Chains A and B, each alone.
Chain A
Amino acid sequence: MDELLHVGRSIPRKDGPIKATGRAKYTVDVALPGMLAGKVLRSPHPHARIVSIDTGKAARLPGVRAVVTAEDSLKIKHGFVETPRYPADQYPIAVDRVRHVGEDIAGVAAIDEETAEEALSLIEVEYELLPAVFDPEEAMRPDAPEIHPNNPKVDEPYRNIGGKTATSWGDTERAFAESYLVREDKFYCQMRAHGYMEPQATVAHFDYSGKLNVWTSSMGVFLKRAKLAKTLGIPHSSVRVLKTYVGGAFGGKIDLFHHEYIASLLSMKCHLPVKIVYSREEVFKAARPAQPLIVRIKTGVAKDGEILGQEIEAINDSGAYHGSGVVVIFLAWGFAMAPYRAPNLKYEGYSVYTNNLVRAPQRGHGAPKMRFAVESQFDMIAEELGMDPVEFRLRNVRKPGDILPNGDSVKKFGLSECIERVAERTDFRNRHEAGKRERETGATVKRGIGIGTTAYFGGSLIYPNSSSAIVKLNDDGSVSLLTGALDIGQGCETILCQIAAEELRMPVEEVQIYAADTETTPVDIGSWISGLTYVTGNAVKKAAGQAMEKLLAAAARELDADVEDLVARDKQIFVGHSPERKISYARAVAASIARDRGDSIIGEGHFRTMKDVPTHPSLASTKGRWTENYSSYAQVAEVEVDTETGAVKIVKVTTAHDCGFPVNPALVEGQIDGQVSMGQGHILSEELRVENGCVINPSFLEYKIPCSLEMVETDYIDVITEEYKRGHHYNTKEVGEGYVSGTVASVANAVFNATGVRMKKTPINPYDMLAELKRIRKEVS
């Protein structure tokens, strides 16, 4: 195997300089001649019939160029999932009825934001208020107000069940009867915001050629094109979604957002560019937040800690429409069963309509909540059995080669090695014992340590299912890489350039990347199912490999040598045994064009996971293949709990991770650090507070994301289970989502270790912490 030149190395990201100098153009920076400011009128009510809308005064206001309501639309519904069981359930602009506060009712385009805002205030809407329901368990009751009376009934007689996932294997009743210990616990995870720094933003320009050009802060341009084309009733070829830099997404910018549709509709009406940028308050109050989850788990174990059976119920408050709710109840099953064996298992997940905001996925999409519940209960069981939490996990962890109940193989699964290595690095066993002793001491600040683990999927089948790439050799021997991938900050452009440069044995700097334009770049799976490096990476590898083959063939002819004897380096091709015989890439390109009647050198590559599998697994039954590469992690958190203030400080998080082969280790570290921070917000401080369906803390002053003063020290242990070999598949696994889970779970377990307080609800805020400490003290005395 040739030495690797670029892959596996921590090269700085390619877009670093343009971002550091402020020249990177984000959607909020797009400005076009004649551009109008767009604004959206939103429902102030959680559930109401729209009796009438009068836009006359708004339309007559000087400076207003267009006003749209549902009457200007084709009234085509869409959904994050659109299947026969879960048909599209949401209009992109409300028709007759609103089901949550903030639902989009009308749009206005005007010469400036102030005029647009004034126009909004002139739109007269008459509502007839309807009974609303906000708690998912209340909404399930047979007598709850029905939010979608005409939707297919998923689970009668319960009301408002938008989706249900049910699966089982073995016999849980018998398993519990044979168990030494059975525990049943219920856990609650809050509703969180994504906290992307760039607000939702879109510029739409329907030009005079009949093309809708769209710049939008997103996570993948092809999905946006498909959904805009469908809801606007125009061909895909009439919609072009173009690249802009993206100021963070974390799951919150997938799917069609209605301001994208409204900006497009406004522009189609007035033929001028329309820009809609959310205020931060609007982001908090109307954009899709993440999925809250209630998890009930019953687990039976043998005396030696072996898990014999588990029953799990997950209830998701999906908000007023499906959003990703019907997906998160499927995924929550996967995150429950993938890392550890459970020979008997029964799972039921419910996605329940309420009159709350619609949800989006958020980094981990259910994993942080499910792992918080499972891993908290693991430690409770281990404590009761008198077992060390590490031993309990090692007793049950899946081993390399295990076949999951859905038929997936975990292949070279590194979780047991991750657990052992993170325990060793942190001296976990000794410090866990020391933590238990902290509970007994009179110290005000108590120190504890905890562990949390995860397994995660990567690049599953969901539209657009695959990625393609094109690699063009230029006349000077440099390369242009065309990919539909959209870099949302994770660094995919850099990684794809590394791969192309590796396969073409040339400097990374000589690879220019042209990305994320639905018109000029090939289809891409998107930056949102943890598969970009794997799926798009392999497409780029194939495209570059094909270009290299053509280049070598041209060189072989010119050098009168066999292709097998050629060696490529630094844009030169040599005959291996007589290196004085050589040709530059530039001349090889010219030779190909001259001798092959104009054939320039272009390579194309395509990649899709699970080629033998027609489609994604069943969201209802979990049947079908899910993914072909499971990543895994074990994380250990060290915390300090101030028993006087109830404040929890995360001192350090150590991560042992199996992400396959790290193409760019520095970028992997960046992903880990970011997820530790996001997990910190989840477990300690972030919560969207809602009253009657309205978010009441809509600013960063009241919704507290971690700041630098709370920075957590991080440490990493690479557990590399997959070697990359040139010319072979490159087995990368997920790296951008799963770590949130381990952080959340390990902190909860560390808090228990230090204080004996078991929090079953996140976030662990000082108020609740103090109350629990007080309760425990009372119990003791």
Chain B
Amino acid sequence: MKKPGKRLISLQINGMEYEVAVRSDRTLLELLREDLMLTGTKEGCDDGSCGSCTVLLDGSPVRSCLLLAVEAENREVTTIEGLAENEKLHPIQQAFVDHGAIQCGYCSPGMILTAKALLDENPAPSEQDILHAISGNFCRCTGYNKIVTAIRAASRNGKGGD
């Protein structure tokens, strides 16, 4: 079985410039997790249904298991590792910790990034807005209740946010 050749691409990840040689059939998820050891992004299903692998591409949430790495060429990728500044958690991360929105934590990176994209776009979302935004991110532990509480707390409605 002949494997596809590698291509040299440039992309920005969490504010850093990367130049990587990657096979054209590799997903962005594989590039992040296996080549760059950015294992905060999780794989849960490999068919785009669970949302665990969500990262931000130019600020918008995408499933990195459905995106080829080469499609991220010259674009800006944000993973969960890029949110906290040094040891200070991003306000959404802090809200997830404070409000019990994390249990096993496997969905948390994707969920937090989805929430970030929502609040960047709409700093004062309604509960329905929140429920719609995270409807592609499965969580099996929390029933979503405390995740919604956390996102609301981090929003302008909850006096969080900007």
Contact = CB atoms under 8 A, between A and B. Distances in A.
Contacts, number: 179
Interface string B72-87: 0000000111011000
A53 B94 CA distance: 55
B102 A16 contact: yes
B47 A280 contact: yes
Contact of B143 (A280, A674, A700, A701): A674
A114 B4 CA distance: 13
Interface of B: 1, 3, 33, 37-47, 49-50, 52, 79-81, 83-84, 89, 93-94, 96-98, 100, 102-109, 112, 130-132, 134-148
A29 interface: yes
Nearest to A13: B102
A22 B135 CA distance: 21
Contacts of A250: 140
A705 B109 CA distance: 20
A116 to B, nearest CB: 13
B100 A666 contact: yes
A195 B140 contact: yes
Interface residues of A, number: 60
Interface in A646-684: 666-667, 669-670, 673-678, 680
Contact of B104 (A20, A25, A197, A677): A197
A21 B1 contact: no
A200 to B, nearest CB: 12
B43 A28 contact: yes
Contact of B106 (A10, A31, A247, A280): A247
A497 to B, nearest CB: 15
Contacts of A280: 44-47, 50
A613 B135 CA distance: 49
A24 interface: yes
A19 B108 contact: yes
A700 B49 contact: yes
A22 B106 CA distance: 9
A247 B50 CA distance: 13
B102 A20 contact: yes
A196 B140 contact: yes
A150 interface: no
B92 to A, nearest CB: 8
Interface in A1-58: 10, 12-13, 15-17, 19-26, 28-29, 31
Interface in A273-292: 279-280
A245 B105 contact: yes
A491 interface: yes
A490 interface: yes
A640 to B, nearest CB: 17
A177 B34 CA distance: 70
Contact of B144 (A25, A667, A677): A677
B142 A705 contact: no
B130 to A, nearest CB: 8
A29 B39 contact: yes
Interface stretch (A166-174, A709-717, A751-759): A709-717
A670 B148 contact: no
13 contacts: A13-B97, A22-B80, A22-B108, A23-B40, A199-B44, A250-B140, A699-B49, A707-B138, A708-B130, A708-B134, A708-B144, A708-B148, A711-B143
A699 B44 CA distance: 11
A198 B110 CA distance: 13
Given A22-B39, A198-B42, 8 more contacts: A13-B102, A16-B97, A17-B89, A248-B140, A670-B103, A670-B146, A678-B143, A714-B145
Contacts of B106: 26, 196-198, 247-248
B81 A21 contact: yes
Nearest to A30: B39
A700 B37 CA distance: 26
Contacts of B146: 669-670, 673
Nearest to B81: A22
A677 B141 CA distance: 8
A558 to B, nearest CB: 37
A22 B78 CA distance: 12
B102 A19 contact: yes
B40 A667 contact: no
Given A20-B89, A488-B104, A701-B47, A670 B142 contact: yes
Interface string A126-170: 000000000000000000000000000000000000000000000
Contacts of A706: 143-144
Q: Which of A26, A488, A670, A699 has the most CB of B within 10 A?
A: A670
Contacts of B108: 19-20, 22
A20 B131 CA distance: 20
Interface of A: 10, 12-13, 15-17, 19-26, 28-29, 31, 114, 118, 194-199, 245-250, 279-280, 488-491, 666-667, 669-670, 673-678, 680, 699-701, 705-709, 711-714
Nearest to A26: B106
Contacts of B140: 194-197, 248, 250, 674, 677-678, 705
A744 B31 CA distance: 42
A748 B138 CA distance: 25
Given A676-B143, A708-B148, A279 B104 contact: no
A227 B32 CA distance: 35
B42 A197 contact: yes
Contacts of A491: 103
B33 to A, nearest CB: 8
Contact of B44 (A17, A194, A198): A198
Nearest to B80: A22
Given A248-B106, A666-B100, A21 B40 contact: yes
A109 B56 CA distance: 34
A676 B52 CA distance: 22
Given A114-B1, A701-B49, A20 B100 contact: no
B82 to A, nearest CB: 9
A54 to B, nearest CB: 21
B143 to A, nearest CB: 3
A199 B50 CA distance: 12
Contacts of A489: 103-105, 141
Given A12-B97, A13-B97, A707-B135, A21 B143 contact: no
A712 to B, nearest CB: 7
B14 to A, nearest CB: 11
A670 B142 CA distance: 6
A110 B108 CA distance: 32
Contact of A21 (B37, B89, B103): B89
Given A197-B52, A246-B104, A20 B112 contact: yes
A709 B132 contact: yes
Contacts of B130: 708
Contacts of B137: 708
A10 B46 CA distance: 36
Contacts of A675: 143
A714 B39 contact: no
Nearest to A653: B143
B131 A22 contact: no
Contacts of A666: 100
Nearest to B39: A29
B42 A20 contact: no
Which of A20, A279, A673, A709 has most chain B Cβ within 10 Å? A20
Nearest to A280: B45
B85 to A, nearest CB: 11
